[in-house]
Amino acid sequence: MRWEVGSALNIVSILLVVVVIAAMLIWVERRLLGIWQERLGPNRVGPLGLLQVVADMLKIFTKEDWTPPFADKFSFILAPAIIMTVVLMSFSVIPFAPGVGIIDSNIGVLFVLAMASLGAYSVMLGGLSSDNKYALLGSLRAAAQMVSYEVFMGISLLGIVALTGSFNLREIVQAQADGWYVFPQIIGFIIFLIAGVAESHRLPFDIPEAEQEICAGYHTEYSGMKFGMFFVGEYLGLVLISSLITALFFGGWLGPGFLPPIFWFALKASFFVAFFILMRAAIPRPRYDQLMRYGWLFLLPLSLVNLLVTGAVILAGSGG
Amino acid sequence: MFSLIRDTFTSQLVTLWRVFKHMFDKKDTVEYPDVQPYMFPRWRGRIILSRDPDGEERCVACNLCAVACPVDCIALQKAEDENGRWYPEFFRINFSRCIMCGFCEEACPTNAIQLTPDFEMAEYVRQDMVWEKEDLLINGTGKYHDYNFYRVAGMAVGGKDKGEAQNEAPPVDVRSLLP
Amino acid sequence: MAKIVIDGVTYEVNGDNNLLQECLSKGLDLPYFCWHPCMGSVGACRQCAVKQYRDADDQKGTLVMACMTKANDGSIISIEDEEAKKFRANVIESLMISHPHDCPVCEEGGECHLQDMTLMSGHNYRRYDRKKVTHRNQYLGPFVGHEMNRCITCYRCVRFYDDYAGGTDLAAQASHHHTYFGRQSDGFLESEFSGNLVEMCPTGVFTDATFSAHYSRKWDLQTAPSVCVGCAVGCNTTPGERYGELRRIVNRYHGDVNGYFLCDRGRFGYGFVNSAERLAESQQGKGTGRRTVSEDEAVLELNRILDGGQVIGIGSPRASVEANLALLQRVGGDNFYAGVSDAEFAQLQILKQLSGESALHAPSVREIEECDAVLVLGEDVTNTAPRIALALRQSARNRADELAAAAGIPSWQDAAVRELAQRELSPVYLLSGYATRLDDIARATVVDSAPGLTQLAQALARTLDSAAPTPAATLQEEQKQLLGSIADDLKGARRPLIVCGTGSGSEALLKAAANVARALATARGGDQAVDFCCVVPEVNSVGLVLMAGETQSLGLALKKMQAGDVQAAVVLENDLFGRAPQSQVEAALAGVGQLVAIDQLPTRTTELADLVIAGTSFAEQQGTYINYEGRAQTSMQVFMNNQAARPAWKWLRKESETTLAGLLQTAETTLEGLAGITAILPVSAAAVAGMKYPRQSHRYSGRTAIQAAANVHEGKQPEDRDSIMAFSMEGMSSQRDTAVLPNTWAPRWNSNQSVSKFLDEVGGHLRQGNPGRLLFTRNGSSAGYFEPESAAVTTGDFTLIPAYQLYGSDELSARAEVVNERLTGAYVALAPHDAQQLGVAANDLVTVSADQEALDYPVCIRRSVKPGTIVAFTPAGQFPVAGAGDQVSLSKAQGSGQARFGNLIVSDLQQEGI
Ligand code: SF4
Ligand code: SF4
Ligand code: SF4
Ligand code: SF4
Ligand code: FES
């Protein structure tokens, strides 16, 4: 067995590690939220409450997995599977470290964007098939939100692609050896950050779920492991966005040599995970219409301007 | 326009920073049950029925608590003893429905029903959350020590005849025309 | 029409009324206590003060009592004026200075007019710190409770009890702030209408003692619009249930029938519904072999019997139209017999025949009140149709109104009108078998047996119209004089009324009464129908006779049964032993193969039945009843029987899909008499999205606790598939439609006074129309006078006159536990002279022997009884020893009886020996 892109060891360990991390995030998030809200968070199951994850898993596995009789069975079951699948697929192109990864694709960025688009189906199908007014509202919101933010997410990355001249994520990381793209592409970074949160519909942009308004939105009718899949899917999404930010803007595995590259990658990604959790702890949810207006009237022009300026600078630099 | 964008942006960053700073503050959580919290006397916990200073049941079965209850979890029936005193024949609270709002206590004209600081109300069997008068009635006056409704009301009950309540003149003699 | 301005808004009003009436009719909130639409104004409470302005320029205005001021055209008043408001607040404050701190333990609480008015007038803090006046209470009998401390001296109680209902035993006593409203001493209230005190008194002085015994607040009762089953008047009621028990009955306003009042039988006689004797489950087998059977078994067994061979059905005048129809449709019209005594059946047939006659009109209770000359023929209305007796009292007051009108005094100026009229009354003539409770308003009374009264009536008809048949007997001079003045009064009246009924027990008298009415119609010119009120005994007597064939008498059924011609007989809610002589019933039951009895309470018939089916009471089923004037009214189900009793129509229907509406629709096409009955089916016109009308008030409490003792997991509310109402708090607001209004309540008006909010004008009609429909179509002209028949001659020394009692003549109410305290038991009343001759004292037993039977009765001695007649009271459920007008012989028997004559409310009781 060797650490080499696409090896079986790679595939198995990445899958395991990613899923375990996502599961651990259940605990991490609750502890961090607690800390930032002057509480303690779960601290009673096992040391530091670490076994909370196990307890939660046990609970979610043993809970009654109820399919409402009025739901459309097929799509109701399909929906949570889609989110898990597409997010895990996205991980296949993430360059964790030299030699650590599943595919070295030269359309990596496009692949990630494509998978993100497919993710929207999960939420939409889940809500529509539930035959429940809250779920329906949730999925309508989700569809609009995800479709809109995909646009700026894509455009915000074009600057990097233009700078690197490649869609290959590994090449993008390597191209940052001289300096992280976050500096030239600060605007792109901010847009990508916001769009990423919206895409993974996490607080403050959890408008499709919005407990206080529409119960639990698209997953109102879900219970047991099907709900669990949505739940873990969301955390996977969180890890994915953090990893992408790391790779695209913060030099991926690159870092001073006293630590192995994979560590640098993990450190940077963890920072963003924590940042996203901090956002959840601090920022209130905007209204649905505010979110849409913000996207189309502010982020879209901004990302286009960013692309224009980047293009102009590249053109000027190449002396054309 | 620009300043609006700038202010919105900085305001979010400031928020993030302020929340982040909470990391270093003292936690508010009390680690119950290792540490027993201090419960204020007016805490709205488990409901009891109290007795008046003479040791009699205070509840007069007026049904006001029941009608005030937003979740309708109180049911009772009025009965009357041989001396005309009203009391509840049964008095039931379904604690599995109670939301501890305290409306019942607000509504009670006799101070009979009171919420107490006891909040440890979990049961393994849900049926055990249905309490009858036998379970609810305590042997004391609860939070309000002096009030005795029947000493104020005009009805004659055992131990208090007509005209013996607070501020009452003796019953009139209807055969007399004297002023 | 007059125009008045109230707080700057112009209203069109009836200028003859007072301002208070008009304010309330317009839906405005103006506090009041002493005024009542039926009793007028006396200005006693000073609560209804408003500001009146001389003209538009008058800024200052004067305080006037709205109830004492005519709504003259152009009046300008203000309810909202600060000074008026302050005045009203001060008045209520002073009314309340001695009011006890009782609300939580007061039965009135939550439906208290005083509470409402206190709140409305803005008095909320007690400033008076001197001692409160207190009173001792009285024991007023098993029905009405007394808590005198709560009185605000509005005088409504005595004005109702004495002035309106003619009571004599309740009065205002003492003086100044000691005024006391009660009896001379402890003892039950004598009036048949004492229960209305509960609703008349705006405070908790008079309360329903039967309700207090199992008290619930008004908002906690599950209620539905219902109809009283106590007699054939068909008063509208609101029964209330809580915890599976019927808790009370209160009046439900109906503009044509009961208005604001009920009688005590209807109000307090509901206890049979909760009786421990109730048949909770169906039973099979006789004697010791009897066992309870499940619902399914009972249905199977019933269907087996009904589908096998020759089955007859015996209907019931106390069962609903639907129950009777279900039986009729099941056994076929030829096998359906009327379960009433043969004598009554014959009388009801006459009524049916008369019901098509255009010269006659069956007046509603409200119309009776408008009649200004009344002739009562042989009916003790007070005890057979009590609410009509109360109406007759009001008709006697028409004279006072006439006098007042002549003197220019508005009729609502109660004190003035009474002062003016003194004892002047419109003519009321009472021709009856014994002294009745209406004698005090009678211009003349005649006491005689049915044959004697029949002769008088025949002669009167002849006096009125010379074409009437010649009476059989010649009269004495004074009788002729009396008939002359009766004839004159009836002819000269604005609206004369003839009251008769089945109570006399005499077919001949009923025919004679009809002749009088026809003769009167002819004498008055014939273009206007004459009011002819024929009282029938039970809630659905008219319905039954409209359904049963003309020859389908009980006697015939019993004969067939005795002859062994029928394999099975189904007796619907009926005790045959009360309908026919015991020997006859026993012989019939011996001859029939199988006897099925459907009933709610055990009777002698259910004892002997092979299959006893548990039926429901009126409160546990929906049903239609047809009253004495042919008014079909729906009584809605109040609550579900939580045992195995089911409505009779459900047991009897052939297809389980048959609905109440379906039964009526079939009946409408097959039975001529019931044409138009489907029009009364309550429809939920306003219903949105299939919602029903809730039976529980929006304040209903304990929903999640009532069942919790049995199981903390709350079950579903029982579903009601049969009606447009639900056993729930949820659904359409029934405030929109008075036909389904279970409970009168309006914002700020928690007491029954809120009824004004549902009327087109106070004391008028319900906004959406009074529910029910008159079924009699009068398009036939008279078939000509009935010919007098010579009475069948029987032997004996005394003529029998049947008597009736408010408590005891009605089978169901008599089985209520509280009513039991007021029952007398069977007795015969003798004239003092006859008693002396026989050597009997009160409560001694005498043997009354008729043709076939002889029974022992305790004796009661009444001065008014005509020598040579006996007045026999037989409680419902027993069959009298002989019919009305029959000759019987009397002999002294050993021992003494148990009759409780202390419960007899008559003015002519010979006291000694009691
Ligand atoms: S506390 Fe509130 S919910 Fe609980 S019983 Fe009292 S009124 Fe009802
Ligand atoms: S409000 Fe008080 S007195 Fe009234 S029933 Fe409830 S506990 Fe009893
Ligand atoms: S009469 Fe009315 S105001 Fe008076 S104690 Fe009773 S409920 Fe209260
Ligand atoms: S007893 Fe009732 S009706 Fe009579 S005067 Fe007093 S408050 Fe009025
Ligand atoms: S209602 Fe007018 S004075 Fe009483």
Tokens of C376: 């009562």
Which of C480, C497, C528 is the last residue before a domain boundary?
C528
**Interior CA angle at B76 toward B75 and B82, to 5°?**
175
d(CA C814, CA C606): 18
Q: Could you list the residue range(s) of the whole structural domain that residue C50 is in? A: 2-96
Per-residue pLDDT at A215 exceeds 80: no
Q: Are residues C266 and C373 in the same domain?
A: no
Indicate if ligand 3 lies below 6 Å from the C-beta of C115: yes
In 3D, which of C248, C218, C249 has the Cα closest to residue C235? C249
> What was the pLDDT predicted at A52?
87
Nearest CA in chain B to C173: B174
**Backbone φ, ψ for residue C598 (5° rounding):** -105, 120
8 Å CB contact between A186 and A291: no
d(CA C516, CA C468): 9
Contact partners, residue A7, CB within 8 Å, separation at least 6: A1
Interface test with B, best of A278, A290, A291 (most B CBs within 10 A): A278
Q: Are residues C10 and C87 in the same domain?
A: yes
**C399-448 pLDDT, tens digit each:** 999 999 999 999 999 999 999 999 899 999 999 999 999 999 999 999 99
Indicate if ligand 4 lies below 6 Å from the C-beta of C651: no
DSSP letter string over B4-52? HHHHHHHHHHHHHHHHHHGGGSPP----TTTSPPPPPTT---SEEE-B-
User: Which residue's alpha carbon is at the smallest distance from atom 7 of ligand 3?
Assistant: C109
**Backbone φ, ψ for residue C895 (5° rounding):** 85, 180
Q: Are residues C57 and C135 in the same domain?
A: no
Q: If you average pLDDT over residues C22-33, what whole number do you get?
A: 94
Q: Does B23 touch chain A (CB under 8 A)?
A: yes
> What was the pLDDT predicted at C914?
41
Which of C75, C96, C117 is the last residue before a domain boundary?
C96
Q: Are residues C87 and C134 in the same domain?
A: no
Q: Is C437 domain-assigned?
A: yes
Distance in Å, CA C35 to ligand 5 centroid: 5
Indicate if ligand 3 lies below 6 Å from the C-beta of C589: no
> What was the pLDDT predicted at C122?
87
Q: For residue C887, give the H/E element and its range.
A: strand C887-896
Task: Determine the 3-state secondary structure of C155 from DSSP.
Answer: coil
Per-residue pLDDT at C739 exceeds 80: no
Q: Are residues C373 and C417 in the same domain?
A: yes
Contact partners, residue C718, CB within 8 Å, separation at least 6: C640, C727
- Whole-number mean pLDDT of chain A? 85
Q: For residue C668, give the H/E element and its range.
A: helix C660-670
pLDDT class of C795 with cuts at 50, 70, 90: low
Indicate if ligand 3 lies below 6 Å from the C-beta of C102: yes
8 Å CB contact between C148 and C137: yes
- Written as one letter, the residue type at B121 is M
Tokens of C813: 């109410």
Contact partners, residue C496, CB within 8 Å, separation at least 6: C371, C372, C373, C374, C375, C489, C490, C520, C524, C530, C531
Cis peptide before B41 (omega within 30 of 0): no
Nearest CA in chain A to B1: A298
- Whole-number mean pLDDT of chain B? 92
Interface test with B, best of C701, C706, C714 (most B CBs within 10 A): C701
Per-residue pLDDT at C913 exceeds 50: no
Q: Considering CB atoms only, which of C102, C243, C700 is closest to B77?
A: C243
> What was the pLDDT predicted at C711?
93
Q: Does C59 touch chain B (CB under 8 A)?
A: no
Query: Helices A261-282 and B2-21, interaxial angle, to 10°?
Result: 100
Cβ distance B149 to C214 less than 8 Å, yes or no, reads: no
Distance in Å, CA C753 to ligand 4 centroid: 15
Q: Is C722 domain-assigned?
A: no
Per-residue pLDDT at C594 exceeds 70: yes
d(CA A244, CA A276): 13
Q: Considering CB atoms only, which of C134, C136, C701 is closest to B66?
A: C701
The two beta strands, B86-94 and B74-80, are antiparallel
Q: Are residues C249 and C365 in the same domain?
A: no
Q: Are residues C407 and C263 in the same domain?
A: no
Residues from chain B that touch C704, judged by Cβ atoms under 8 A, are: 71-73, 94, 97
pLDDT class of C146 with cuts at 50, 70, 90: very high
The answer, yes or no, to whether C and A have at least 3 beta-carbon pairs within 8 Å is: no
Which residues in chain C (146-165) have CB-CB distances under 8 A to chain B?
147, 149-150
Q: If you average pLDDT over residues C830-840, what whole number do you get?
A: 90
Task: Determine the 3-state secondary structure of C241 from DSSP.
Answer: strand
**C668-679 pLDDT, tens digit each:** 888 888 888 888
d(CA C514, CA C511): 5
d(CA A149, CA A299): 9
Tokens 């919005």, residue?
Answer: A210
Cβ distance B62 to C132 less than 8 Å, yes or no, reads: no
Tokens of C175: 């003086």
Distances (CA, A) of B90 to A59, B49, B137, C217, C325: 40, 12, 11, 15, 43
Determine the residue of C133, C152, C183 to mutate for testing ligand 4's pocket, defined as the one with the most ligand atoms within 8 A of the Cβ atom.
C152
Q: For residue A145, give the H/E element and its range.
A: helix A133-164
Q: Considering CB atoms only, which of B86, B94, B176 is closest to C708?
A: B94
CATH code of the domain covering residue C37: 3.10.20.740
User: Which residue's alpha carbon is at the smallest distance from atom 4 of ligand 1?
Assistant: B98
Q: Are residues C155 and C85 in the same domain?
A: no
Q: What is the CA radius of gyration of chain B?
A: 26
Q: Assign domain B47-152 to a CATH class.
A: alpha beta
Q: For residue C662, give the H/E element and its range.
A: helix C660-670
Which of C528, C549, C573 is the last residue before a domain boundary?
C528
Residues from chain B that touch A279, judged by Cβ atoms under 8 A, are: 16
Q: Are residues C141 and C92 in the same domain?
A: no
pLDDT class of C263 with cuts at 50, 70, 90: very high
What b/e readout covers C102-130, taking b as 16+ CB neighbours within 10 angstroms? bbbbbbbbbbbbbbbbbebbebeeeeeee
Tokens of A112: 């990630």
Q: Are residues C75 and C140 in the same domain?
A: no
Contact partners, residue C261, CB within 8 Å, separation at least 6: C38, C193, C196, C251, C387, C390
Per-residue pLDDT at A146 exceeds 90: no
The two beta strands, C282-284 and C291-293, are antiparallel
Cβ distance B22 to A278 less than 8 Å, yes or no, reads: no
Cβ distance B16 to A35 less than 8 Å, yes or no, reads: no
Q: Give, rounded to a whole angstrom, the gap between the first and last alpha carbons of chain B.
A: 86
Cβ distance B26 to A38 less than 8 Å, yes or no, reads: yes
d(CA C289, CA B14): 90
Considering its fold, how many domains does chain C have in total? 4
Q: Is C176 domain-assigned?
A: yes
Cβ distance B25 to A38 less than 8 Å, yes or no, reads: yes
Indicate if ligand 3 lies below 6 Å from the C-beta of C119: no
d(CA C776, CA C785): 20
Q: Are residues C401 and C518 in the same domain?
A: yes
Quickly count helices (H) and strands (E) in chain A: 12, 0
- Written as one letter, the residue type at C181 is F
Spacing of C-alpha C51 from chain mean position: 41
Task: Determine the 3-state secondary structure of A267 from DSSP.
Answer: helix
**Mean pLDDT highest for which of A150-164, A213-227, B159-173?**
B159-173
Q: Which residues line ligand 5 (CB under 6 A)?
A: C 20, 32-35, 41, 43-48, 65, 67
8 Å CB contact between C644 and C281: yes
* Structure-model confidence comparison of residues C210 and A202, the more confident one: C210
**C674-727 pLDDT, tens digit each:** 888 888 887 766 566 778 899 999 999 999 999 999 999 988 888 888 888 999
Q: If you average pLDDT over residues C575-590, what whole number do you get?
A: 92
Q: Is C559 domain-assigned?
A: no
Per-residue pLDDT at C793 exceeds 70: no
Counting ligands in written order, the one closest to the CA of C145 is 4
Q: For residue C267, give the H/E element and its range.
A: helix C264-268
Task: Give the percent of chain C with pLDDT over 90.
Answer: 71
Instruction: Indicate left, alpha or beta for A83 from its phi (over 0: left) and psi (-120 to 50: alpha).
Output: alpha
Determine the residue of B64, B72, B74 to mutate for testing ligand 1's pocket, defined as the one with the most ligand atoms within 8 A of the Cβ atom.
B74
Per-residue pLDDT at C806 exceeds 80: yes
Tokens of C609: 């039945």
* Structure-model confidence comparison of residues A147 and A6, the more confident one: A147
pTM: 0.84
d(CA C114, CA A67): 57
- Written as one letter, the residue type at C730 is E
Instruction: Indicate left, alpha or beta for C731 from its phi (over 0: left) and psi (-120 to 50: alpha).
Output: left
Determine the residue of C106, C148, C156, C219 to mutate for testing ligand 3's pocket, defined as the one with the most ligand atoms within 8 A of the Cβ atom.
C106
CATH code of the domain covering residue C903: 2.40.40.20
8 Å CB contact between C746 and C753: no
Q: Are residues C86 and C137 in the same domain?
A: no
Q: Considering CB atoms only, which of B66, B130, B174 is closest to C708?
A: B130
**Mean pLDDT highest for which of A57-71, A155-169, C162-176?**
C162-176
Q: Considering CB atoms only, which of B72, B169, B179 is closest to C705?
A: B72
d(CA C681, CA C772): 9
Indicate if ligand 2 lies below 6 Å from the C-beta of B114: no
Cβ distance A38 to B18 less than 8 Å, yes or no, reads: no
CATH code of the domain covering residue C244: 2.20.25.90
Contact partners, residue C631, CB within 8 Å, separation at least 6: C234, C256, C257, C364, C772, C773, C774, C775
Q: Is C404 domain-assigned?
A: yes
Q: If you average pLDDT over residues A288-294, what whole number do you get?
A: 86
> What was the pLDDT predicted at C53?
94
8 Å CB contact between C908 and C868: no
Per-residue pLDDT at A236 exceeds 60: yes
Nearest CA in chain B to C128: B167
Per-residue pLDDT at C790 exceeds 70: no
* Structure-model confidence comparison of residues C283 and A177, the more confident one: C283
Tokens 């007046």, residue?
Answer: C363
Q: Does C244 touch chain B (CB under 8 A)?
A: no
> What was the pLDDT predicted at C119?
93
Q: If you average pLDDT over residues C601-619, what whole number do you get?
A: 93
Per-residue pLDDT at C73 exceeds 90: yes
**A95-112 pLDDT, tens digit each:** 888 877 888 888 888 898
Q: Which residues pair with C208 in a beta bridge?
A: C144
> What was the pLDDT predicted at A2?
57
Contact partners, residue C347, CB within 8 Å, separation at least 6: C502, C505, C506, C507, C510
Cβ distance B168 to C131 less than 8 Å, yes or no, reads: yes
Interface test with A, best of B12, B13, B22 (most A CBs within 10 A): B22
Indicate if ligand 3 lies below 6 Å from the C-beta of C106: yes
> What was the pLDDT predicted at C794?
62
